[in-house]
Amino acid sequence: MVAAAATATATSFSLSSTTTTSASKTLKPQLNNLSFLSSSCPSLKTLSARAAASSSAASGGGSALAARMVSVPPAMKPQTSLDFDTKVFKKEKINLVGHDEYIVRGGRDLFKLLPDAFKGIKQIGVIGWGSQGPAQAQNLRDSLADAKSDVVVKIGLRKGSRSFDEARVAGFSEENGTLGDIWETISGSDLVLLLISDAAQADTYEKVFSHMKPNSILGLSHGFLLGHLQSMGLDFPKHFSVIAVCPKGMGPSVRRLYVQGKEINGAGINSSFAVHQDIDGRATDIALGWSVALGSPFTFATTLEQEYKSDIFGERGILLGAVHGLVEALFRRYTENGMSEDLAYKNTVESVTGIISKTISTKGMLAVYNSLTEEGKKDFETAYSASYYPCMDILYECYEDVATGSEIRSVVLAGRRFYEKDGLPAFPMGKIDQTRMWKVGERVRAARPPGDLGPLYPFTAGVFVALMMAQIEILRKKGHSYSEIINESVIEAVDSLNPFMHARGVAFMVDNCSTTARLGSRKWAPRFDYVLTQQALVAVDDNSPINRDLISNFLSDPVHGAIEVCAQLRPSVDISVTADADFVRPELRQASN
């Protein structure tokens, strides 16, 4: 569970609850002016619940100079506020850094409300069996069974798919009407959860739309498809509603914590939800019911556009790509400076995925710093000061590539290169754990005592926390809500993803995620490795002075208090990931170090 150490800020944080009974079921966004350099992107007039697009500001100069102009002011507030109405669930108001946000708590005691939430839904079609499909289908099925609902959860797959066997093992079958052809499943479902890869969505969306029943609901767990449509000046057809429930963790985590939640009520992965298009007033409660059924400890509101920007960006940042690049750069530095390979691995990967993540999860980022000796704090500050702006430089570029559609286009094109075309060979994703570092990791894990969280290495901690804070700042200045910022930059990293790298290395973490995430991690990890090596570590070697304003801003940043509030909204349960985990992707199930 994520918590934070107490801070010296004077900002008050509070939780209050209210139950709404309004017949209105649409989100009500409000957006203030943004105070960060922002890129413009297509904005479409839709029936969506979304914030208005921010206006463009003039571009800054060189990244290092521009970055120094956006140092974190303690009183910074998030820019987006979202409200919603529900007839079925209890809505609560939380206050994060003086900013009201609205959430719905989860828990198995709410499963009894699912029949009301899913009123009018006879069949939920889960399309695809990748990262999210197996987890969401099984969680929905089990939750609805617990609620004694007669809603059918049916898996839809393309004919000949090898995933039919996997779905059958999970309890779905053609005989009982819970497994079938993708197009028949879409045509026969009242709620269609489109969980195929983003690249596949981009290539098949027209056929999907044509098979949707009038007045049905399209459910997404990622806003990628909206971004793709926007890049072509298009929007969703108007004969069905469009909602999203987006778990802040990979599919295997969604399933694993749901299963653990049978013993600890409310254990699970937090989710955001969005109502992009609501044609009959049912969308909000159906989306919330979907999230509750997945086992989300709490569900917060966003927009489909804000979701895809923060999510695609976050995957390439601290969640996957950046942390991979970070540990590669530091492992190489430590060994080049004479540290043994085993110790270098422990002081990079084991430190980040073990004690640093555990400390941030249970006590917050400040606790990492405060637990160090005075000499350790100096090493932390040196690393933090040297790494913050180089990390922000790449993160800033990445966010704008996502916001302008460039990164979305890159994913679509990469998916098409998986197959032979134009006389050129196929280029599927290659392995990412074949270098010496990851072979050393196998040896280290094989000898690791049970429960060992590795050493708290101050320099590694300083680089990792600088990366985390730089990502928080980008999202904050781009107008994302604190709920979204904290989940995409902190909770998902330390509670959902890093435990997988701790269990079996970087590929076990990255390749249990979606195709879009896997592609992005492979593309951006080398950028973070390079910038840290060429800029941050060079600055350290040059004995560049510590930027005291950066350290002061970190210690007093109001995000620490906001994380503390979010920590109150979920139980203290850690995901259990073993080397022989059977809830992961089939090709990653073999027992291995």
Q: Which helix (H) or strand (E) holds 103?
A: strand 99-105
CA 206 to chain centre: 27
Query: Active site includes 222?
Result: yes
Question: Would the annotation count 166 as a binding residue?
Answer: no
3-state secondary structure 512-578: CCCHHHHHHHHHHHHHHHHHHHHHHHHHHHCCCCCCHHHHHHHHHCCHHHHHHHHHCCCCCCCCCCC
**Catalytic pick from 99, 211, 222, 480?**
222
Report the C-alpha gap between 269 and 302 in whole angstroms: 16
d(CA 465, CA 553): 13
Does 488 count as an annotated binding residue? yes
What SS3 state is found at 221? Answer: coil
Does 311 carry a binding-site annotation? yes
- Which residue type is seen at 70? V
3-state secondary structure of 257: helix
- The amino acid present at 550, given as its one-letter code, is L
Residue 174 annotated as lining a ligand binding site: no
Query: Which run of H or of E encompasses 446?
Result: helix 436-446
Q: How far is CA 469 from CA 226, 366, 464, 558, in A?
A: 28, 11, 9, 11
Q: Which of 43, 575, 33 is nearest to 304 (CA)?
A: 43
The CA distances from residue 78 to 82, 475, 477, in Å, are 11, 9, 7
3-state SS string over 306-368?
HHHHHHHHHHHHHHCHHHHHHHHHHHHHHHHCCCCHHHHHHHHHHHHHHHHHHHHHHHCHHHH
Is 146 labeled as ligand-binding? no
3-state secondary structure 472-525: HHHHHHCCCCHHHHHHHHHHHHHHHHHHHHHHHCHHHHHCCCCHHHHHHHHHHH
The residue among 313, 365, 311 whose CA lies nearest residue 494 is 365
* Other C-beta atoms lying within 10 Å of the C-beta of residue 590: 8
Pairing of strands 271-277, 241-247: antiparallel
User: Which residues make Cβ contacts (< 8 Å) with residue 247, sequence separation at least 6?
Assistant: 132, 135, 136, 221, 253, 254, 269, 270, 271, 294, 296
Q: Which residues of 33-60 are buried (b: 16+ CB within 10 A; e: fewer)?
A: eeebbbbebbeeebbbbbbebbeeeeee
Question: Helix 458-477 and helix 374-403: axis angle, to 10°?
Answer: 40
**Annotated binding-site positions:** 311, 315, 488, 492, 514
**Annotated binding-site positions for Mg(2+):** 311, 315, 488, 492
User: What are the catalytic residues?
Assistant: 222
**Annotated binding-site positions for substrate:** 514
